[in-house]
Structure 1
């Protein structure tokens, strides 16, 4: 599924005429601009120049009604560069960072079915690094470790699981 925006001609809209079209978001700004120009040229209001986004699919909410096409293209590039994550997960990650420009995928530690999967993996790794014998390991309180780790870890809940970031 690709991201899409519903672009509406504002002159027509302000005159009570609903004129617009769905446009696929692309990493090519010129391609999106050409589609918008074509839609505007077909407007019943001659010389139409202004447009707005009145709906969207699979995009972060912060883009709003008047997004910069370069920002939409940057989001699409980010999705293409990170095929290990579904588009909906990328939306959640970018929303957590606050903007496409602020999104640092190097801060993403990984995605887990549940936070406990992450905390248990990290606890086991720490215990293994200290060569903790099984007789002592059985006394480790995984639940308490998970609870405390949640307080100092940024996690993003998504329908597909939990994304852990170091930011």
Structure 2
């Protein structure tokens, strides 16, 4: 899955902020940690307050619903941003479902089964792959019930993103 995410952070100089100035910079968060730190250092060096050393993340965008704290570490920001840039919308889905826990999102991504119009459509596809179903019996199979059983039994996890956009993950 390709990316349509370009995560950025707005880093503000706290010395300037505390003295009534708004001074900061938008930075591409997908860069490595040293590149992020270099850009933060450049922003601080250009501060209207001499000797500025402290910064905070005052805004962020395109993080797919992940929460970025004001004092989040640059390694964490870079890692989340790179994950989103690499895996796109699916990464955002897993991050939201994992409440921003990156390791849980990575684990969830490894168990991805696909995107379907419904859980019943997924159950139907599985049944067709796993079993030889005679044509005369196909109309009698209740795929909705099969889907409920898969969910209730913990075999799958379901994340609904929108109309006919159901992401299925194999259970743990």
Conservation of the 8 A alpha-carbon contact between 1:6 and 1:54: yes
> How far did residue 137 of structure 1 move?
2.5
User: Are 1:156 and 2:159 matched, yes or no?
Assistant: yes
Paired with 2:167 and 2:34, the residues of 1 have a C-alpha distance of 33
Three-state SS of the structure 1 residue aligned to 2:102 is: coil
Match of 1:136 in 2: 137
Match of 1:41 in 2: 45
Three-state SS of the structure 2 residue aligned to 1:35 is: helix
Unaligned segments of structure 1, at least 5 residues: none
CA-based RMSD = 2.3
> How far did residue 18 of structure 1 move?
1.3
Match of 1:101 in 2: 103
Unaligned segments of structure 2, at least 5 residues: none
Q: Structure 1 residues 63, 121: closer, same or farther in 2, change over 3 A?
A: same
> How far did residue 123 of structure 1 move?
2.9
Paired with 1:154 and 1:116, the residues of 2 have a C-alpha distance of 13
Q: TM-score, normalised by structure 2?
A: 0.78
Paired with 2:52 and 2:117, the residues of 1 have a C-alpha distance of 49
Give the length in aligned residue pairs. 160
Match of 1:3 in 2: 7
Three-state SS of the structure 1 residue aligned to 2:26 is: strand
Residue of 57, 64, 68 corresponding to 2:61: 57
Paired with 1:25 and 1:96, the residues of 2 have a C-alpha distance of 22
> How far did residue 36 of structure 1 move?
0.8
Paired with 1:164 and 1:73, the residues of 2 have a C-alpha distance of 27
> How far did residue 113 of structure 1 move?
3.8
Residue of 108, 112, 123 corresponding to 2:127: 123
Paired with 2:58 and 2:89, the residues of 1 have a C-alpha distance of 20
Conservation of the 8 A alpha-carbon contact between 2:60 and 2:68: no
Conservation of the 8 A alpha-carbon contact between 2:66 and 2:95: no
Q: TM-score, normalised by structure 1?
A: 0.80
Q: Structure 1 residues 67, 159: closer, same or farther in 2, change over 3 A?
A: farther
> How far did residue 133 of structure 1 move?
1.7
